[in-house]
Amino acid sequence: MLKSPLSLGATIGILGDGQLGRMLSQAASRLGFKVVIFGPDKESPAAQVSLASKVAAYTDEAVLARLAESCDVITFEFENVPASSLDYLTGKGAVVAPSSKALRITQDRVLEKSFARDHGIGTVDFYPVDSLDDLYAALRQSGLPALLKTRREGYDGKGQVWIRSLDEAPAAYDSLNGRPSILEAKASFTREISVVAARGWDGQVKTFPIGENHHVGGILSTTLAPANVSPAVSAEAHDIAKAVLEGLDYVGVLAVELFVLDGDALLLNEIAPRVHNSGHWTQDGCWCDQFEQHIRAVAGWPLGDTSARCTIEMTNLLGADILAWPDLSAEPASRLYVYGKDDPRPGRKMGHINRIKSV
């Protein structure tokens, strides 16, 4: 628990060294904080813009101990940091936000969906799968097609496979290498939306306007926000985000991805315990963006104004898309963000561009 708001010049530690850590570090620096990055990559996007970096495995207790000593609060930028590392930091007296509880629940898709249902939030039907026999039994209940995913890790369409007939079950199971999995019934949704929200140490909650997301090949392609949704959908989405934040006793920013069904019913797809790709639009569309909001929350500062200033379409720049930077940077009413990665391999997130659609 943070006893008082961090003063100017305090040090924030960030576990994770990718583009989200980079943008968190930039936001923290603008607010007058020092940032130490902890991650395995010596030439990381986050380390490029930070005061210092510690290069080590997330389980390296000697380096974790030094991080605990040098930082006033410690946070993380992605959900695959081991929850045990957060427990170790807490045991060393560090202030950590969000907590290991939030990480432990959201790292496991079965625990995550069970948490949602326990808090009155609808999800698709789901079934734990630990063997091929489990998979056959689950398929008989879920119906076809159904989506088989690893319970842990996996992102941007990785670690998942659609099953359209029982004959495909063995190959699908083998493709995940026997890892503990979850079978999810198909959701007949009309569109996917997300809500990014924050909670402070004092329990204050603020939500950003809804974004509508479009995926290509399992990877987010564009987010349009504020989305054109009904007041009822907006209110329910914000209520769901608030229930998640409070149920996890969460401090910081998270994103909740939701399916919109016919009739505007909502089902939770996923909880991301961090700043999120679908919230990048807030950098130019809101008075306080998601990165500053996360820093404000973990630092014990008042949460910022989440009102929308304009309508933004955020487009991810994947792989060779970034090579068009001369044209992208010349576009009017747009803003280009480059992550500092060297290898523009296919599907890799190299940057994004926010385009103002209307004011």
What's residue 1's pLDDT?
87
* pLDDT computed for residue 157 by the predictor: 64
User: Do 26 and 90 share a domain, yes or no?
Assistant: yes
Question: Left (φ > 0), alpha (ψ -120 to 50) or beta: where does 182 sit?
Answer: beta
In a domain, 282, yes or no: yes
Q: Does 342 lie in the same domain as 248? A: yes
Tell me, yes or no, whether 289 and 219 share the same domain. yes
Same domain, 84 and 48: yes
Q: How many Å apart are CA 33 and CA 177, to the nearest integer?
A: 44
What is the pLDDT, as a whole number, of residue 101? 95
Can you give 272-292 as a three-state secondary structure string? ECCCCHHHCCHHHHECCCHHH
- Domain end call among 81, 96, 111: 96
Residues 297 and 285 in one domain: yes
Transcribe 185-245 into DSSP letters: EPP-EEEEEEEEEEE-TT--EEEPPPEEEEEETTEEEEEEES----HHHHHHHHHHHHHHH
Structurally, how many domains does the chain consist of? Answer: 3
Q: Is residue 144 part of a domain?
A: yes
Could you state, in chain order, the average pLDDT of each consecutive group of 10 residues for the chain (359 residues)? 96 98 98 98 94 97 97 96 97 97 96 98 98 97 96 78 96 94 95 98 98 94 97 98 98 98 96 98 98 98 98 98 98 98 95 95
Does residue 114 belong to any structural domain of this protein? no
Answer whether residue 340 is part of any domain: yes
Structure-token pair, residue 233: 């959908």
Is the same domain home to 138 and 219?
A: no
Of the residues 96, 114, 143, the one at which a domain ends: 96
Residue at 2: amino acid letter: L
In a shared domain, residues 269 and 207: yes
In this structure, the answer to whether residues 68 and 200 fall within a common structural domain is: no
pTM metric for this prediction: 0.96
Is residue 109 assigned to a domain? Answer: no
Residue 319 sits in the same domain as residue 331? yes
Residue at a domain's end among 185, 212, 230: 185
Q: Let me know if residue 116 belongs to a domain.
A: no
pLDDT at residue 155 in the model: 65
Q: Are residues 32 and 67 in the same domain?
A: yes
Question: Angle at which helices 19-30 and 290-299 pack, to 10 degrees?
Answer: 70
Q: Residue 28 sits in a domain of what CATH number?
A: 3.40.50.20
Is 3 domain-assigned? no
Q: Is residue 6 part of a domain?
A: no
| Domain span holding position 66 | 11-96
The CATH number of the domain holding residue 301 is 3.30.470.20
Contact 246, 204 (CB under 8 A): no
pLDDT at site 193: 98
- The CATH code of the domain that includes 136 is 3.30.1490.20
Same domain, 195 and 313: yes
State the alpha helices, DSSP H only, in the chain: 19-30, 61-70, 83-91, 100-106, 109-118, 132-142, 169-175, 231-247, 282-285, 290-299, 325-328
In whole angstroms, what is the distance from residue 27 CA to residue 30 CA? 5
One domain, residues 150 and 194: no
